[in-house]
């Protein structure tokens, strides 16, 4: 069984503390995505799991074994690198068979396993080419092929798609998802792209500056972000944040308002909030609508972008701030015209301001 457990894992380079105490539980067979902005320590964390970096303190277990001091080869992991790391002087066949060659497998065994990997990745026709004759997407397939022939219990991917162009990225993303279903292995996938995280993950770990901000299923994180960072990081266009003042607190909900916002009662579960506090109201652009009658937010149209099925409207609020509304229909709103925006208070999030 290849569950993975991290307990208070830390990593420092001298005085630079890169991973600052991380606890993560990954179940056997789960697809777990580490997501966060560039430089937050995702790769470092993944390389610690692979055994390419020492763990400064804390414990890392794969299955029931603590593997802190095991070399990479004995951890039963395979890794796919952002730069592919395929061997330039070997053919695709030799590259895919590399792990088996190292283990001293027979030619027949190698041929069979390479053929199977090639079938899964649909690259039978590439086997006798050299890496220099392959496109980026094909190279990434070879790297994945090399990872799957050894049937590892854990796959580690470090931004495998970030060197590919947008269209190819979407194809490969779907293929990696399919691969996970076929193989049923535990996978950890590092990316800074929230779309990849949302679409692929069973479990998302949002990282920032070497700390875990939130762990959960994609929809839980989307609909119930624990803090401003997660709320702003997931979803596109990103969530609108509006400074508000708390007018009244009523058990689990709070009444908030500002110059451009009529008082509205929203959930206060990310509190505590007290009357008179400043707070931040988070509204996803997709849940804002142009109100027919009097709405809750008052402003004027600053910009519209018509995308066909969707219209993105930037509204300058009465207090000078701007919000974005993503409407799921095509419509024209003249710039400068007054609009009122409405929303369902159940879809609004109230956060404490960050220091």
Partner 1 sequence: MASRFTVSNRTGWLMAGPAVLLIAGFVILPFLLAVGLSFTNQRLVSPNPTEFVGLANYNQLLDLALLTVEPLKDDAGQTVLKDGVPEYPPIRSLTRNNPDRPDLNGMREWFSFSSGGDARLVVLARDVVFMKAIVNTFTFVIVVAPVQAGLALCLALLINQRLKGINIFRAIYFMPVVVSIVVVSLLWRLIYDGQSGLLNNLLGTLSFGMIPPIDWLGNPSTALGSIIAMSIWQAVGFHMVIWLSGLQTISPTLYEAAAIEGASKWQVFRYITWPGLRNTAVLILIVITMQAFGLFAQIDVMTNGGPLDSTHTIVFQAIERGYGKQDISGGSTISVILFVIVLSISLIQRWLTREKS
Ligand X SMILES: Nc1ncnc2c1ncn2[C@@H]1O[C@H](COP(=O)(O)OP(=O)(O)O)[C@@H](O)[C@H]1O
Q: Which residues bind partner 1 (CB under 8 A)?
A: 50-52, 71-74, 77-79, 81, 83, 85-90, 98-99, 101-103, 146, 150
As to burial, measured by CB atoms within 10 angstroms (0-12 exposed, 13-18 middle, 19+ buried), residue 142 is buried
Q: CB of 209: closest distance to ligand X in angstroms?
A: 9
Residue 112 contacts which entry, ligand X, partner 1, Mg ion, none (Cβ below 5-8 A, type-dependent): none
Query: Which residues have C-beta within 8 Å of that of residue 127, sequence separation ≥ 6?
Result: 91, 92, 93, 96, 114, 118
Taking Cα atoms as reference points, which of 85, 254, 95, 107 lies closest to residue 160?
Answer: 85
Binding site for ligand X (CB under 6 A): 13, 16, 18, 36, 38-44
Residue 102 contacts which entry, ligand X, partner 1, Mg ion, none (Cβ below 5-8 A, type-dependent): partner 1
CA dihedral 143, 146, 152, 155 (to 10 degrees): 0
Taking Cα atoms as reference points, which of 274, 268, 277, 273 lies closest to residue 244?
Answer: 277
Residue 150 contacts which entry, Mg ion, ligand X, partner 1, none (Cβ below 5-8 A, type-dependent): partner 1
186 binds Mg ion (CB under 5 A): no
43 binds Mg ion (CB under 5 A): yes
* DSSP code for 347: G
Distance CA 313, CA 329 (A): 11
Q: Which is nearer to partner 1, 44 or 194 (CB)?
A: 44
What is the distance between the terminal CA atoms of the chain, rounded to a whole angstrom? 43
Q: CB of 162: closest distance to Mg ion in angstroms?
A: 9
Q: CB of 142: closest distance to Mg ion in angstroms?
A: 21
Alpha-carbon torsion (59, 64, 70, 74), positive or negative: negative
Q: CB of 208: closest distance to partner 1 in angstroms?
A: 26
Q: CB of 159: closest distance to Mg ion in angstroms?
A: 6
Peptide bond into 237 cis (omega under 30): yes
Q: Which is nearer to ligand X, 82 or 300 (CB)?
A: 82
Nearest residue relative to Mg ion (C-beta):
43
Q: Which is nearer to partner 1, 71 or 251 (CB)?
A: 71
Distance CA 257, CA 306 (A): 30
Single out the segment in contact with Mg ion by CB under 5 A; choices: 38-46, 98-106, 236-244, 284-292.
38-46
Distance CA 272, CA 252 (A): 9
Residue 39 contacts which entry, Mg ion, partner 1, ligand X, none (Cβ below 5-8 A, type-dependent): ligand X
CA distances from 71 to 50, 52, 67, 95, 189 (A): 9, 8, 8, 22, 21
Q: Which is nearer to partner 1, 18 or 234 (CB)?
A: 18
Single out the segment in contact with Mg ion by CB under 5 A; choices: 39-47, 214-222, 295-303, 321-329.
39-47
Q: CB of 44: closest distance to Mg ion in angstroms?
A: 8
Residue 13 contacts which entry, Mg ion, partner 1, ligand X, none (Cβ below 5-8 A, type-dependent): ligand X
Residue 83 contacts which entry, partner 1, ligand X, Mg ion, none (Cβ below 5-8 A, type-dependent): partner 1
Q: CB of 72: closest distance to partner 1 in angstroms?
A: 5
Please give the sequence-ordered ranges of beta strands (E in DSSP) within the chain, or none if there are none: 4-13, 16-26, 31-35, 57-62, 65-66, 77-80, 154-158, 186-191, 203-208, 211-216, 240-250, 253-258, 261-267, 278-283, 288-290, 297-306, 311-317, 322-327, 338-343, 348-351
Q: CB of 142: closest distance to partner 1 in angstroms?
A: 11
Q: Which is nearer to partner 1, 84 or 333 (CB)?
A: 84
Binding site for Mg ion (CB under 5 A): 43
């Amino acid at each position: 069984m290849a569950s993975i457990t991290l307990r208070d894992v830390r990593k420092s380079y001298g005085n630079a503390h890169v991973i600052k105490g991380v606890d993560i539980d990954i179940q056997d067979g789960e697809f777990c995505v580490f997501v966060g902005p560039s430089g937050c320590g995702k790769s470092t964390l993944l390389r610690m799991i692979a055994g390419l970096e020492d763990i400064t303190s804390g414990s890392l277990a794969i299955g029931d074994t603590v593997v802190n001091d095991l070399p990479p080869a004995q951890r039963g992991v395979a890794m796919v690198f952002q730069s592919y790391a395929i061997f330039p002087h070997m053919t695709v066949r030799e590259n895919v068979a590399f792990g088996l060659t190292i283990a001293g497998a027979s030619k027949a065994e190698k041929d069979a396993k390479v053929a199977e990997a090639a079938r899964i990745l649909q690259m039978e026709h590439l086997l006798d080419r050299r890496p220099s004759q392959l496109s980026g997407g094909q190279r990434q397939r070879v790297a994945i092929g090399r990872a799957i022939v050894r049937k590892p219990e854990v796959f580690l991917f470090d931004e495998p798609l970030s060197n590919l162009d947008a269209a190819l990225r979407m194809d490969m993303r779907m293929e990696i998802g399919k691969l996970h279903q076929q193989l049923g292995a535990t996978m950890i996938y590092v990316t800074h792209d929230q779309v990849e995280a949302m679409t692929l993950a069973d479990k998302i770990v949002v990282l920032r500056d070497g700390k875990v901000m939130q762990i959960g299923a994609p929809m839980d994180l989307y609909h119930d972000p624990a803090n401003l960072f997660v709320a702003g990081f997931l979803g596109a266009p990103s969530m609108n944040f509006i400074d508000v003042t708390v007018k009244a607190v009523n058990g689990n909900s709070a009444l908030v308002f500002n110059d451009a916002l009529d008082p509205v009662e929203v959930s206060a579960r990310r509190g505590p909030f007290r009357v008179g506090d400043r707070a931040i109201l988070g509204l996803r652009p997709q849940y804002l609508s142009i109100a027919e009658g009097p709405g809750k937010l008052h402003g004027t149209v600053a910009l519209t972008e018509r995308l066909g099925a969707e219209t993105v409207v930037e509204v300058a609020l009465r207090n000078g701030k701007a919000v974005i509304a993503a409407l799921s229909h095509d419509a024209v709103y003249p710039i400068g015209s007054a609009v009122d925006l409405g929303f369902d208070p159940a879809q609004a999030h109230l956060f404490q301001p960050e220091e």
